[in-house]
Chains A and B, each alone.
Chain A
Amino acid sequence: MSTILKANNLTKIFSLGGLLSRTKITAVDHVSFTVESSEIFTLAGESGCGKSTTARMILGFEIPTSGELHYLDQNIQSVKDKKAWFKEVQAVFQNPFESFNPLRKVESYFFETVNNFHIEKNEKRAEQLIEEKLQAVGLTYHEIAGKYPGELSGGQLQRSSIARSLLTNPSLLIADEPVSMVDASLRMSIVNLFREMRDSFGVSVIYITHDLATAYYISDRIAIMFRGNIVETGSVEEVLGNPKHPYTKLLIESIPQPDPHQQPKTLIKFLEEKEEYLRKGCKFSGRCPEVMDICKKITPKDVLIDGVMVKCHLFKTNTGKSEE
């Protein structure tokens, strides 16, 4: 295994409000992580935790305020040839009904990608290539030929969108909430596709989601984000099987269990995003059930415990909890 993507102290600051009452929100705050070849890496967290902003920075839609992104040994910001970059990194977005123009035929997106990246000049062979990629996601060219997005189901469209991203043979796929708009009955078939792509094409996937159950199901490693920080990261079995950070525990507890007997008993607090972003010290201290005085003043440091990185004052050394 080799590292294909490395984020180093990635930071993005947005300014909110008018000229006079300007507040700065650090949407992504010194985030570092790596993505290895042929693995599924999950970025998880609730809405407004900075996971999509991170993805947008990797895709080059946002310019990082500071920090670096390395692809193999290359700094992404210094890449002049964007096309070569997008040949390696492709994206699948949340809502398939929004990612396709309703007035354009679905197939035109496939041919456009083929032309843009000069993959194939001959139309017949281009069609063969498209057919091949569509079959990889369980569709046929015949099913989408001549059709508009409105004539396909959400599941079919999301599959098409994945098939299109495969045309350039990318080594990294960024999937931003790819299943949250897909029907429950078809959701697993899309999730299984990502697994299949990792296993048979060796594609790495950055899977962005708030749904920890599917994250556990497909990913190898996971990073839990909260208000711009990665609060816990490590192998998915360890992070979700044996959660350490109180926020990870909260997230796991919040998954609606498909079992009428197993329901959360405790009530939760719900705070507004902006309030938490501007908080000093640990950003989770406003909701944390195990909050201490120190949490409200000092931002916790990253601590490595059993191969898992945790950002919490409850943990100090390699032996686990020390301050109790």
Chain B
Amino acid sequence: MNCVINVEQLQAFYVLEAQGKRKIIKAVNNVTLSIPENEIYGIAGESGCGKTTLLKALFASIDPPLQLFGGKVNYRINGKDLNALSLSEKEKRELRWTYISYIPQGSMSVFNPVKKLKRTYLNFLESHIRGKAHRDLLSLAHQHLEELGLSPQILGAYPHQLSGGMRQRIAIALSTLLKPKIILADEPTTALDVVAQRAVLQLMRDVQQELQNTIVLVTHDMGIQANIASRMAIMYAGKIVEEGPTEEVFIKPLHPYTQYLIQSLPRIGDKTTRKSVPGSPPSLLDPPLGCPFHPRCPQVFDRCIKETPILDQCNPNHKVACWLRRD
């Protein structure tokens, strides 16, 4: 398996200082992860589990109050590993949008409301491609939109004239203009209805197939993960608790948390009562000792309260961090 990103024991915490007290929020706590190339990789978990922070770290965008406490994020470029977190701002800027691009959360509201979309596209292209006339840049944008099956006429519209689903797709199109090797997408389908959601997923799948690149998709919606990701990781309280091929995770979930997530999904044709995970998500300010899931876990035993399980191979290809799976 060739990997494009290797994350080694990454620790990124938010450091807040309020009223003379120092608070540390452990948003990404010892994450080790390998993201393979030419695949859609899903990261799932509830809000506040650190998945957005992990994406920010993958994008090498660690700004205060977020601080790096250890670990590496290696990009693999032309067969060589490059620690993205040690690069200078200028070097990072050169990689962005050509090697790695980022679709932030709520990206349908990223466009300037008083400018036509054309201006946003031109601004973007001008800052990345030097020495080309406006007309050439614009035709590049037109061509790109057409390739993705979107109408180039949209560039003449203001953002508010388009629906959320359309704006989201324009944002995705913008992030893929320079054909990056890696696209990080943060909840691109949240706040869209099922039909618009499907159109967005369809577009992402097309983009991936055309560019043969890697898309890292963060969403809490397990249905979408099943739909599009070929491999996925489940995050809980700043840690990865399960990782494996999507099919295996869905058919044979190993972690009790994953089991809850999958069992609680309603299906048409089935009215039997579904239970959601008991309790509420832990605070990352003061995560529980031992396994972070133990206060909500129905199968908790002594060891879970004292020791933190590490993410370890269970089957070849399928990893889990749970004491139940250790002999």
Contact = CB atoms under 8 A, between A and B. Distances in A.
A240 interface: yes
Number of chain A interface residues as a range = 35 or more
A271 to B, nearest CB: 9
A260 B247 CA distance: 6
A188 interface: yes
A105 B134 CA distance: 54
A270 B192 CA distance: 13
Interface of B: 44, 46-48, 162-166, 169, 191-199, 201-202, 220-224, 226-227, 246-247, 250, 257, 260-262, 264-271, 273-277, 280-281
B241 to A, nearest CB: 13
B264 A184 contact: yes
A156 interface: yes
A251 B196 CA distance: 10
A217 interface: yes
A240 B268 contact: yes
B283 to A, nearest CB: 9
Given A185-B276, A188-B275, A254 B264 contact: no
Contacts of B195: 46, 210, 250-251, 254, 268, 270
Nearest to B274: A188
15 contacts: A45-B193, A47-B163, A47-B165, A47-B192, A153-B280, A155-B280, A184-B220, A184-B221, A185-B264, A192-B274, A212-B194, A256-B221, A257-B226, A268-B195, A273-B163
Given A185-B281, A213-B267, A268-B195, 5 more contacts: A180-B191, A184-B46, A185-B264, A185-B276, A189-B275
Contacts of A252: 268
Interface in A103-157: 153-156
Interface string A176-220: 000010011111110110000000000000000011111011000
B268 A272 contact: no
A276 to B, nearest CB: 10
A241 B269 contact: yes
Contact of A186 (B46, B164, B224, B250): B46
A183 B166 contact: no
Contacts of A270: 165-166, 169, 195-196, 199
A289 interface: no
B58 to A, nearest CB: 22
Interface in A221-258: 240-241, 250-252, 254-258
